[in-house]
């Protein structure tokens, strides 16, 4: 399924709305994406650009189910794809390269989301770069603040692209990149799942897309990317030039730290006929799913080795899709809840809070989870681990050494004799 076929599926399932009124890129896009937070939203009339813009491509379990072709067992299904990747077919002709335009980032529909942001931000671009001394590519999503017609500042976190850039910079080389915009969400889910360094995420994306993904090399730098995307931007991350990046409202809904980050220069822009640009609204459901869902899968894999029955894992919206995991299990006779919590922290090191509940608690229902926490967690059921490395996105961390607390809450039923005392009689 291509990007355009996915849009057709959303439209046919009443999961797409179109905004035909003239919409301004400064703050107005944010308002409409917030209003339509569970539906893909297509802006057909952008004041500052001739291109259409879409956001909220994957903001609900309904949309996730359309991609994974299941309405439950999301993590188990995704894990199956991880274990059975498929090499995509390489093609020569890519319709994305049919049109080349003059480089001017200000003419693209790149929004300013919040008044406190440092500028307009490209948030949906998947950045592809070759691993040093290899034709294999890494793909990853990075926010890019626009500072000129052909210039941006990229936020590099210490993961694969950061390491690729570091290695190239030591040799005095810029890092050649290709940024795709307007792609099937299966590609975004795949590149958000951390693979071993040196391995491409494209075979995982192809598995999710049932072997239909095709790839092509970019004209200037020969970087392998998914074919039939809406836009491709080729350029370089500078080995030496840096610029202040931020402020930016990140996944916690708070302003992230202003940092000095590498600059990028865009040298070529290509697009399909009648292309649609893409954005991701920060600190809302799509941001949570793309960052959180792959971590849920990793937690599921670790926890499943400790307890036989894992019914679901949810990185909660209240926990910013990142910091709080609710894990539904059937506890075994030998208590292992502390081990489950530690396994979750090992799978997702940024995780701060882990709540364990029984199968009868709906992990997506905040009221049910809080009820279980209050009525089933008693003396000795809450473990607080102090002074451990946490997420750089957590505003409450110790900013001197990036440490925080980690908490395990065992909100499962306990005690063979009085188990009925934990049963809820009335519905939520």
Of 250, 90, 63, 223, nearest to 155 by C-alpha is 250
Annotated active-site residue 250? The verdict is yes
8 Å CB contact between 350 and 393 = yes
- The answer to whether the beta carbons of residues 113 and 282 sit under 8 Å apart is yes
State how far the Cα of 248 lies from the Cα of 251, in Å rounded to an integer: 10
Cis amide bond preceding 247, omega within 30: yes
Residue 420 CA neighbour count, 13 Å, CB half: 1
CB atoms under 10 Å from CB of 403, counted, come to: 13
> Which positions ≥6 away from 39 have C-beta within 8 Å?
10, 14, 15, 16, 17, 56, 59
Find out whether 181 and 276 touch, Cβ atoms under 8 Å. no
Rounded to an integer, what distance in angstroms lies between the CA atom of residue 226 and that of residue 134?
A: 18
Say which of 150, 160, 250, 256 is annotated catalytic.
250
- Strand (E) positions, 115-174? 121-122, 126-130, 137-141, 144-146, 151-154
Kindly give the pairing relationship between strand 137-141 and strand 144-146. Answer: unpaired
Task: Please say whether the beta carbons of 82 and 204 come within 8 A.
Answer: yes
Cα–Cα distance list, 192 to 10, 140, 209, 273, 316 (Å): 22, 7, 15, 28, 18
Measured between alpha carbons, how far is 54 from 57 in angstroms, rounded to an integer? 7
DSSP 3-state of 26: strand
Q: What CA–CA distance (Å, rounded) separates 170 from 424? A: 61
Q: Are 59 and 39 in contact (CB under 8 A)?
A: yes
Active site residues: 250
């Amino acid at each position: 399924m291509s990007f355009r076929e996915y849009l057709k599926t959303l439209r046919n399932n009443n999961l797409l709305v179109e905004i035909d009124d003239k919409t301004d890129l400064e703050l107005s896009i944010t308002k409409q994406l917030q209003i339509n937070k569970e539906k893909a939203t297509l802006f057909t009339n952008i004041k500052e650009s001739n291109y259409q813009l879409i956001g909220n491509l994957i903001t609900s379990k309904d949309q996730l189910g359309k991609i994974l072709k299941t309405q439950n067992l999301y993590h188990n299904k995704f894990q199956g794809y991880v274990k059975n990747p498929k090499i995509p077919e390489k093609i020569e002709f890519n319709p994305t390269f049919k049109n080349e335009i003059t480089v001017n980032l200000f003419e693209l529909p790149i929004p300013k989301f919040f008044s406190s942001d440092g500028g307009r931000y490209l948030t949906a671009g998947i950045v592809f770069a070759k691993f040093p001394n290899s034709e294999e590519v890494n793909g990853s999503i990075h926010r890019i603040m626009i500072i000129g017609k052909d210039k941006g500042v990229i936020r590099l976190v210490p993961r694969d692209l950061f390491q690729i850039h570091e290695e190239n910079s030591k040799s005095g080389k810029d890092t050649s990149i290709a940024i795709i915009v307007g792609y099937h969400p299966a590609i975004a889910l795949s590149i958000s799942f951390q693979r071993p360094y040196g391995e491409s995420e494209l075979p995982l994306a192809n598995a999710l897309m049932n072997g239909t993904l095709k790839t092509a090399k970019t004209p200037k730098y020969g970087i392998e990317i998914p074919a039939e995307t809406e836009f491709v931007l080729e350029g370089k991350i500078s080995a030496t030039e840096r610029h202040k990046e931020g402020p930016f409202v990140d996944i916690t809904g708070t302003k992230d730290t202003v940092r000095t980050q590498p600059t990028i220069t865009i040298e070529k822009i290509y697009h399909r006929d009648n292309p649609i640009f893409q954005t991701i609204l920060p600190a809302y459901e799509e941001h949570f799913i793309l960052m959180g869902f792959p971590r849920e899968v990793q937690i599921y894999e670790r926890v499943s080795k400790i307890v036989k029955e894992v019914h679901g894992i949810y990185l909660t919206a209240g926990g910013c899709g990142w910091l709080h995991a609710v894990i539904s299990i059937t506890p075994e006779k030998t208590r292992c809840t502390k081990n489950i919590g530690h396994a979750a922290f090992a799978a997702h090191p940024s995780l701060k809070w882990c709540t364990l509940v029984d199968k009868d608690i709906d992990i997506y229902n905040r009221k049910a989870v809080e009820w279980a926490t209050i009525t089933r967690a008693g003396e000795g059921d809450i473990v607080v681990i102090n002074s451990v490395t946490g997420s750089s996105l957590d505003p409450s961390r110790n900013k001197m050494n990036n440490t925080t607390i980690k908490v395990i809450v065992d909100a499962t039923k306990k005690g063979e004799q009085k188990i009925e005392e934990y049963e809820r009689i009335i519905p939520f």
